[in-house]
């Protein structure tokens, strides 16, 4: 009975997540006739995250829009979306002069949307890093201590466009030459954690979650503290990157770049939950 209740709980949770994704309508910020449209896909942006952990995952991109207008003289409209394709078809009205989000997700969506986007800068986190990792997690009572103990386990991967939950951890397991099985592709870290909890120890499973998402699982009540253990991680991959439309002129690219690199006020750093602000794309390779 308890197992059935947990399975039902997972199904209901998944349904709620999917419904939230469908009704995510967030009102754009800024004039409809703005000269630039900024599409925000950053999962740490306030409208795309929950406010369950105080001061975390509440980035205010309205402030970045105002800042760019002040520095460049161009009006900016902000559109929040988990998908570039969806944003272009809806609130962005086919415009995406600036796009910021997970590096691998933006690249994937740009290809699908047939948009030529150029990477300009990367946003550091509160520790000064521009990178993230995939974390391999198991139930607290699972006998596995390290990844080497996971021979024959089933892996719950993340979507292919999320490098930290797919490409990078697959490479890690390949290097360890472990014989593992492909499990479900979980659309979010919350769904992966919930599936682990629902299936219990009867199934030997490992879920891959994003390092940035770990604090949110407990904060939002998806799991209780100590329910899951980290037994390994993947190599680092780029986290939040800012891209611009390749069709913008060089002078506009330069103006945006200079403005981003000069963003050092305490107010702006706090609004975007960053230690060092933006750095040139590719200028910082490893975590500091």
Give 259-268 pLDDT, tens digit per residue. 999 999 999 9
Average pLDDT over residues 227-252: 98
Contacts of 74 (CB under 8 A, 6+ apart): 34, 35, 36, 68, 252, 255
Beta pairing partners, 210: 134
Core vs surface per residue 183-199: b (16+ CB within 10 A) or e: beebebbbbbbbbbbbb
64-90 average pLDDT score: 98
Q: Residue 34's domain is classified under what CATH number?
A: 3.40.190.10
223 assigned to some structural domain? yes
- Over residues 70-95, the mean pLDDT reads 98
Whether 144 is in a domain gets the answer yes
- Same-domain status, 245 and 256: yes
Decide which of 16 and 257 is more confident: 257
What span, in angstroms and rounded, lies between the C-alpha atoms of 101 and 130?
Answer: 12
**Judgement on whether residues 59 and 202 belong to the same structural domain of the protein:** no
Write out the two tokens for 240: 């939040």
Q: What is the pLDDT of residues 97-111, one digit of tens each?
A: 999 999 999 999 999
The answer to whether position 18 is within a domain reads no
Quote the pLDDT of residue 46. Answer: 97
Answer whether residue 205 is part of any domain.
yes
Is there a single domain that holds both residue 119 and residue 245? yes
In a shared domain, residues 57 and 88: yes
138/233 same-domain check = yes
- CB 227: neighbour CB atoms within 10 A? 16
pLDDT for 35 equals 98
Q: What is the pLDDT of residue 25?
A: 65
Q: What is the pLDDT of residue 285?
A: 65
- For residue 7, what pLDDT is reported? 46
CA dist., res. 86 & res. 41, Å (int)? 11
Match 């103990």 to its residue by tokens. 149
Name the residue among 244, 280, 274 with its Cα closest to residue 260. 280
Same domain, 78 and 125: yes
Q: Does 120 lie in the same domain as 143?
A: no
Q: How many Å apart are CA 269 and CA 139, to the nearest integer? A: 36
Q: Which of 216, 228, 275 is nearest to 53 (CA)?
A: 216
Per the structure, the count of domains in the chain is 2
Residue 239 Cα to chain centre, angstroms:
7
Could you read off the pLDDT of 105-150 as tens digits, one per residue? Answer: 999 999 999 999 999 999 999 999 999 999 999 999 999 999 999 9
Domain span at 249? 24-129+239-280
Q: Does residue 287 carry a pLDDT above 90?
A: no
Q: Examine the domain organization and report whether 226 and 161 are in the same domain.
A: yes
pTM for this model (two decimals): 0.90
Considering the domain architecture, whether residues 144 and 210 belong to the same structural domain is answered as: yes
3-class SS at 41? Answer: coil
Question: How confident is the model over 202-219, as a mean pLDDT?
Answer: 95
As beta bridge partners, residue 232 has: 136
Across the range 202-215, mean pLDDT stands at 96
């Amino acid at each position: 009975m308890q197992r059935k209740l947990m399975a039902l709980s997972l199904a209901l949770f998944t349904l709620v997540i999917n419904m939230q994704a469908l009704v995510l309508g967030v009102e754009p910020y800024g004039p409809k006739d703005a000269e630039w449209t900024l599409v925000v896909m950053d999962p740490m942006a306030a409208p795309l995250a929950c406010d369950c952990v105080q001061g975390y995952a509440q980035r205010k991109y309205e402030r970045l829009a105002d800042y760019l207008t002040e520095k460049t003289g161009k009006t900016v409209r902000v559109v929040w979306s988990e998908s570039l394709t969806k944003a272009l078809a809806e609130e962005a009205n086919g415009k995406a002069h600036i796009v910021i989000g997970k590096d691998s997700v933006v690249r994937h969506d740009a290809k699908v949307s047939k948009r030529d986007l150029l990477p300009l800068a990367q946003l550091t986190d509160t520790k000064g890093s521009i990178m993230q990792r995939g974390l391999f997690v198991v139930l607290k009572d699972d006998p596995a201590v390290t990844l080497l103990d996971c021979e024959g386990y089933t892996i719950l991967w993340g979507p292919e466009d999320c490098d930290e939950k797919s490409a990078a951890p697959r490479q890690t397991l390949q290097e360890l030459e472990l014989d593992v099985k492909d499990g479900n592709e979980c659309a979010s870290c919350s769904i992966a954690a919930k599936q682990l909890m629902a299936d219990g120890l009867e199934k030997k499973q490992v879920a891959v979650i994003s390092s940035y998402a770990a604090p949110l699982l407990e904060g939002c009540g998806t799991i209780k503290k100590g329910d899951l253990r980290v037994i390994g991680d993947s190599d680092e991959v780029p986290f939040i990157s800012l891209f611009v439309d390749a069709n913008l002129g060089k002078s506009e690219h330069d103006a945006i770049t200079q403005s981003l690199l000069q963003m050092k006020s305490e107010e702006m750093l706090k609004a975007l939950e960053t230690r060092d602000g933006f750095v040139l794309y590719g200028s910082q390779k490893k975590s500091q």
